Chain A
Amino acid sequence: MQSVKTVPTTPPRRLLAQLGIDGRLLFMVLAIAGIWIAFNLLTGGVFITSRNLWNLSVQTASVGVMVSGMVLVIVMRNIDLSIGSILGFTGMAMAVLNIRVFTQDTWWGALLTLALGLLLGLGIGMLQGTWVAVLGVPSFIVTLGGLLIFRGGAWLLTSGQTVAPLTETFQILGGGLNGSIGGPASWGVGALIAAAIMWTDLRNYQQRARRGLPNRTAILQFVFTGVTLALVLAFVLVMNSYPDPRSGLPRGMPVPVLIMLAVTAIMMWVVRATRFGRYVFAYGGNPEAARLAGINTTRLTILVFGIMGMLAALAGAIQTARLNAGTNSTGTLAELSVIAAAVIGGTSLAGGTGSIPGAFLGAILMASLINGMLLLDLPSAWQNVVQGLVLMLAVTLDGIFQRRRAK
């Protein structure tokens, strides 16, 4: 179409825009790289080892699964404070189902447990969403109520008793001893991801070129795809270089990490390519405009809270399986890590702005901080202090960023 040589803007931003890079994502990647290098130096080279990175990936899974749902919630100008409690309640419900109802260790028993748990989370989320959208009570209050109700509910399910152990099949979800897919399968998954990336990049590029829409230059696109593929390769290599202590064979990708990657990929697609995702952002940008455009905003809110609840239940399954026990305190304060990860990843509490990849990086960043502080043997009191400071810093930066944009 027309040439893009318009008014000159500030050089760095223009360069990033021309390269088709999101400046914020780049900043996040650099921040994570900085944190990793700093912790590696402080721990004398323990942080960047395949063993620690493998553990880090499992530790990211729970927050990583939930954060994409939180992005949608916050983009729609809402908040969900109840997810830690939903995680605990559904986790406990699944533990009870797994131990007292489906007592045989079968794959279908484990799957049915998971499915019922997810349905429970979906139902709870939709109920809260209905309360917000139909009755018009602020989500802060509804989900604060949910936080208390479902934490209490987790206690009431077993009168405070911890239930354990779970079936071996269900434990796979937690990424424990049997919870990884092994070396060859990891290569297979890596190859599938690589093929999918190459296919979509190539197809998008060709389609836009054929229709005369603005595009990156061919070389640049090549570099871009190359870097993405290199990251996939590095991920597979790291996962495969941590051996199982019993057999000495590579562990490969942990199941919870696979779940997190799948959830992130699906949610990215939902945001980018579906009407539902588009409407969530339209509502966040201008609720009145969304309503006048004929979008059913009530249904939209209920669905978004439903998805959030279901993802909390999925994280509940992962954590319960990893712990190999249902306890009434599982997931306490998880809502705060998830909100922090979403906000650090560029989700604005003012609504309308947010990205799934950014939030995913935010989850990695938070998990890296916690992991590094554990390695340094920092008392948990100090870990809380650091997490709190990082959250405040992120929101402050977001505020400055918003004001600069508004100018």
Chain B
Amino acid sequence: MSASIVNTTVTPLVEARGISKSFGGIHALEDVNISLAPGEVLGLLGHNGAGKSTLIKMLSGAYTADAGQILINGQEVKLTSPRAAQKLGIETIYQNLALADNLDVAANIFLGRELLRGGALDEDTMELEARKVLDRLKVNLPDLKKPVFNLSGGQRQCIAISRAIYFKARVLIMDEPTAALGPQETHQVNELIKSLKTEGVGIFLISHDMHDVFDLADRVTVMKNGKVVGSALTSQITQDEVLEMIIAGKLPGRNVLTN
């Protein structure tokens, strides 16, 4: 794909250096280095328990690292809370979607960042803005004042994505964005990823679907047992070689790895 934008002269949008994290003596992450350029889609691959989710929770401010640095545009930042990460333009779409089922669509999109007028919630403006962003994603929900519990997986996914879009994400972290979706909805989300990419948004894409990853990502980083096995451009590596890295942690015989 557009591999040309990924070169070392561009300051990475996000860079993590030497990240380590352990939970009660178990090393969830060990000396992890990862970087993401503007407009780049990075596929993050690995088995369950390889450390992908821990790593993205670190980048989204839900966990703090035991050691290591995180840099945004070359500046070191401290992501001490989800809100701190959001303020820096890092938005996360979690695997379990992180929606409050009992709240309505607009309330979920604005959760934690409600619009206020005179100290009170500005429900009407939030409803209108929610409608606008959903229209932009071509999502058709007739009633935004209904609780989200009876919406379909795809509709819920769209709400989670609209939340990130509305607040102008510069970095988008997507944890299995299409795992719960049908083919039609998957296609829609994939189109969305492509259009965000052209707007210069950097995207971490965690997925088990190798086909999707090779379709969408410019580069893949493979993790195993809390460590980075290696990274390579999707244009230069085969799916089989990536599978070998995931399963056996074995690097390809030829020199295809990038930073």
Name A residues whose Cβ lies closer than 8 Å to a Cβ of B. 1-2, 4, 6, 207-208, 211, 213-214, 269, 272-275, 278-279, 281-286, 288-295, 352-353, 405
Q: Are A292 and B116 neighbours in the complex by a CB distance under 8 Å?
A: no
Return chain A residues, CB-CB under 8 Å to B62.
291-292
Contact (A285, B102) CB under 8 Å given A211-B124, A293-B111: yes
B142 sits at the interface (CB 8 A) = yes
Return chain B residues, CB-CB under 8 Å to A279.
112
Measured in the bound complex, the distance between the Cα atoms of B142 and A4 in whole Å is 7
- For the complex formed, measure the closest distance between the CB of A380 and the CB atoms of chain B, giving whole angstroms: 38
- For the complex formed, measure the closest distance between the CB of A76 and the CB atoms of chain B, giving whole angstroms: 12
- For the complex formed, measure the closest distance between the CB of A235 and the CB atoms of chain B, giving whole angstroms: 26
Q: Are A1 and B111 neighbours in the complex by a CB distance under 8 Å?
A: no
Measured in the bound complex, the distance between the Cα atoms of B259 and A63 in whole Å is 66
Contact (A292, B100) CB under 8 Å given A275-B114, A275-B121: no
Return chain B residues, CB-CB under 8 Å to A285.
100-103
Q: Are A274 and B83 neighbours in the complex by a CB distance under 8 Å?
A: no
Return chain B residues, CB-CB under 8 Å to A278.
103, 107, 111, 114, 121
Q: Are A352 and B98 neighbours in the complex by a CB distance under 8 Å?
A: no
Determine which of A211, A214, A274, A295 lies in contact with B120 in the assembled complex, contact meaning CB atoms within 8 Å. A274
Give residues 99-118 of B contacting A (CB, 8 Å). Answer: 99-103, 107, 111-114, 116
13 new A-B contacts at CB < 8 Å, known A4-B142, A288-B96: A1-B131, A6-B142, A207-B124, A213-B124, A213-B128, A274-B120, A278-B107, A278-B121, A279-B112, A289-B99, A289-B111, A290-B111, A293-B112
Measured in the bound complex, the distance between the Cα atoms of B145 and A285 in whole Å is 16
Can you list 12 pairs linking A and B with CB atoms under 8 Å apart? A272-B121, A274-B119, A278-B121, A281-B103, A282-B111, A285-B102, A289-B111, A292-B92, A293-B82, A293-B98, A293-B113, A294-B113
Return chain A residues, CB-CB under 8 Å to B128.
211, 213
Name B residues whose Cβ lies closer than 8 Å to a Cβ of A. 60-62, 81-83, 86, 92, 94, 96, 98-103, 107, 111-114, 116, 119-121, 123-124, 127-128, 131, 140, 142-143, 145, 149
Q: Are B98 and A289 neighbours in the complex by a CB distance under 8 Å?
A: yes
Contact (A290, B92) CB under 8 Å given A6-B142, A275-B121, A278-B107: no
Return chain A residues, CB-CB under 8 Å to B101.
285-286, 352
Contact (A286, B107) CB under 8 Å given A273-B120, A273-B121, A274-B121: no
Return chain A residues, CB-CB under 8 Å to B102.
281, 284-285, 352-353
- For the complex formed, measure the closest distance between the CB of A15 and the CB atoms of chain B, giving whole angstroms: 16
Determine which of B61, B92, B100, B124 lies in contact with A281 in the assembled complex, contact meaning CB atoms within 8 Å. B100
Measured in the bound complex, the distance between the Cα atoms of B94 and A272 in whole Å is 27
- For the complex formed, measure the closest distance between the CB of A18 and the CB atoms of chain B, giving whole angstroms: 12
Tell me if B's interface is mostly helix, strand, loop or mixed.
loop
Return chain A residues, CB-CB under 8 Å to B92.
292
Return chain B residues, CB-CB under 8 Å to A352.
100-102
Contact (A294, B114) CB under 8 Å given A274-B120, A278-B121: no
Measured in the bound complex, the distance between the Cα atoms of B99 and A130 in whole Å is 26
Q: Are B94 and A4 neighbours in the complex by a CB distance under 8 Å?
A: no
Measured in the bound complex, the distance between the Cα atoms of B143 and A295 in whole Å is 26
Q: Are B83 and A2 neighbours in the complex by a CB distance under 8 Å?
A: no
Return chain A residues, CB-CB under 8 Å to B81.
294
Closest chain B residue to A353, Cβ basis: B102
A6, A272, A289 — which one has the most chain B CB atoms within 10 A of its CB?
Answer: A289
- For the complex formed, measure the closest distance between the CB of B96 and the CB atoms of chain A, giving whole angstroms: 7
- For the complex formed, measure the closest distance between the CB of B64 and the CB atoms of chain A, giving whole angstroms: 14
Q: Are B112 and A208 neighbours in the complex by a CB distance under 8 Å?
A: no
Measured in the bound complex, the distance between the Cα atoms of B86 and A1 in whole Å is 31
Determine which of B60, B98, B103, B143 lies in contact with A4 in the assembled complex, contact meaning CB atoms within 8 Å. B143
Measured in the bound complex, the distance between the Cα atoms of B102 and A285 in whole Å is 5
Q: Are A294 and B112 neighbours in the complex by a CB distance under 8 Å?
A: yes
A214, A275, A290, A295 — which one has the most chain B CB atoms within 10 A of its CB?
Answer: A275
Determine which of A4, A6, A274, A282 lies in contact with B100 in the assembled complex, contact meaning CB atoms within 8 Å. A282
Closest chain B residue to A406, Cβ basis: B149
Closest chain B residue to A282, Cβ basis: B100
Measured in the bound complex, the distance between the Cα atoms of B129 and A213 in whole Å is 12
Q: Are B131 and A286 neighbours in the complex by a CB distance under 8 Å?
A: no
Closest chain B residue to A287, Cβ basis: B100
B100, B111, B149 — which one has the most chain A CB atoms within 10 A of its CB?
Answer: B100
Closest chain B residue to A289, Cβ basis: B98
Q: Are A208 and B100 neighbours in the complex by a CB distance under 8 Å?
A: no
Return chain A residues, CB-CB under 8 Å to B111.
278, 282, 289-290, 293, 295
Return chain B residues, CB-CB under 8 Å to A405.
149
Measured in the bound complex, the distance between the Cα atoms of B114 and A278 in whole Å is 9
A4, A273, A291, A293 — which one has the most chain B CB atoms within 10 A of its CB?
Answer: A293
B60, B81, B111, B127 — which one has the most chain A CB atoms within 10 A of its CB?
Answer: B111
Return chain A residues, CB-CB under 8 Å to B60.
292
Measured in the bound complex, the distance between the Cα atoms of B106 and A282 in whole Å is 12
- For the complex formed, measure the closest distance between the CB of A349 and the CB atoms of chain B, giving whole angstroms: 14
Measured in the bound complex, the distance between the Cα atoms of B123 and A214 in whole Å is 13
Measured in the bound complex, the distance between the Cα atoms of B116 and A4 in whole Å is 28
Return chain B residues, CB-CB under 8 Å to A207.
124
The 3 A-B residue pairs whose C-beta atoms are closest, nearest first, are A294-B83, A293-B112, A285-B100
Contact (A286, B124) CB under 8 Å given A4-B142, A294-B81, A295-B112: no
Measured in the bound complex, the distance between the Cα atoms of B92 and A1 in whole Å is 30
- For the complex formed, measure the closest distance between the CB of A347 and the CB atoms of chain B, giving whole angstroms: 12
Return chain A residues, CB-CB under 8 Å to B142.
2, 4, 6
Closest chain B residue to A270, Cβ basis: B120
- For the complex formed, measure the closest distance between the CB of B51 and the CB atoms of chain A, giving whole angstroms: 19
Measured in the bound complex, the distance between the Cα atoms of B140 and A286 in whole Å is 25
Return chain B residues, CB-CB under 8 Å to A269.
120
- For the complex formed, measure the closest distance between the CB of A75 and the CB atoms of chain B, giving whole angstroms: 9
Closest chain A residue to B117, Cβ basis: A273
